[in-house]
Amino acid sequence: MDWKSRRITTLLETALLEDKAASDITTALTIDPSLRATGTIIAKESCIVSGIGCISAFLSIFSRLSSHSGRFEVVSHPEIFDGVRIRPNQAIAVIRANASSILSTERVILNLMQRMSGIATLTNQFVQAVAAPKSKTKIHTKILDTRKTIPGLRALDKYAVCCGGGTNHRHDLQDGILIKNNHISLGGGLPAVLERALAGRKAGQLVQVETRTRIELEQAIAGGADAILLDNMSPKETAAAVKLIRKGLPKATIEASGNMSLKNVADYAKTGVDFISVGALTHSAPAADLSMKITAAAY
């Protein structure tokens, strides 16, 4: 098991422990421990599904934490998998297990899948908005996420972004060099911090600089940044900046960020930027509306 798998397993276990799922007093007092049941996860609205793989993981961890260790299986239609659009009232997956196991894990399973599917759905809306702008010009701009994730959930948040067709930016502070405005103000100005970053980076590491003004943009170009982030600029300002960068640093990648919405993202894509980062994908995505119907099963 690699570090990412271990991190996700720990996350799911923490969710079950937080809910005290193995000590579900209501289920213990009201349900026959030998009863088998079927739990069907249903989409109550159209969404891009994400998190199907977490269902089996939750049940496996729960069986280790509790006395309800009976066999279980999770079944979904071959055409339904993470990243697929689901229709309203469509079944996403069916759980066949001990009834107590399903009842005690229902909430954590739905909580996580609702969040992940919500992120995937919002991401897909941004991807579609960029892919089909009101222009005949071919657009190649990719939608990026940010580090604005719920603490502890980043690996799953960023996975959900990929399910929606988006692209991951840095996973953590070790994963790439990004000089932001606070580094610039505390480090003695953009030219100084950029020079130190370029001199101290390891082989293969790219240096990206966040710029907010024409002066900072010119300094980043003069300093030889590998990538430039245009922060909180209007589409008109962004278009002018792209032309300047393409002339001075033709190999540099260009990213736009700041106050991106479904209403304006296409305008930014038409400026020629390579990437558009959207913090809202993971900090403001509305949860998808999912439910679970549980029925007794004789098998």
Cβ proximity of 24 and 100 under 8 Å: yes
- Say what the pLDDT of residue 155 is: 93
Whether 220 and 131 map to the same domain: the answer is yes
Read off the CATH number of the domain in which 273 is found.
Answer: 3.20.20.70
**Does the annotation count 267 as an active-site position?**
no
The answer on 131 and 107 residing in a single domain is no
Examine the domain organization and report whether 118 and 144 are in the same domain.
no
Q: Is pLDDT of 70 > 60?
A: yes
Phi-psi map region of 162: left, alpha, beta (phi>0 left; psi -120 to 50 alpha):
alpha
Domain count, the chain: 2
Which residue out of 7, 85, 107, 196 is catalytically annotated?
A: 107
Domain that holds residue 161: 127-283
Q: List the catalytic residue out of 148, 170, 196, 212.
A: 148
Q: Are residues 136 and 245 in the same domain?
A: yes
> Does residue 171 share a domain with residue 28?
no
Catalytic position from the list 24, 82, 157, 210: 210
Report yes or no: 160 and 120 within 8 Å, Cβ to Cβ. Answer: yes
Q: Are residues 102 and 190 in the same domain?
A: no
Mean pLDDT of 133-143: 74
User: Is 226 designated active site?
Assistant: no
- 149: phi then psi, degrees, rounded to nearest 5: -120, 165
Q: What whole-number percentage of the chain has pLDDT above 90?
A: 89
Residues 271, 131 share a domain: yes
Residue 3 has pLDDT above 60, yes or no: no
210 in catalytic set? yes
Mean pLDDT score, 165-169: 97
* CATH code, 46: 3.90.1170.20
Burial class (CB in 10 A: 0-12, 13-18, 19+), 215: exposed
* Same domain assignment for residues 164 and 97: no
- Does one domain contain both 155 and 274? yes
Residue in 85, 180, 196, 212 annotated catalytic? 180
pLDDT in tens, 258-277: 989 999 999 999 999 999 99
Query: Is 107 annotated in the active site?
Result: yes
Rounded to an integer, what distance in angstroms lies between the CA atom of residue 257 and that of residue 234? 10
Residues 162 and 179 in one domain: yes
The answer to whether residues 65 and 91 belong to one domain is: yes
For residues 32 and 62, state if they share a domain.
yes
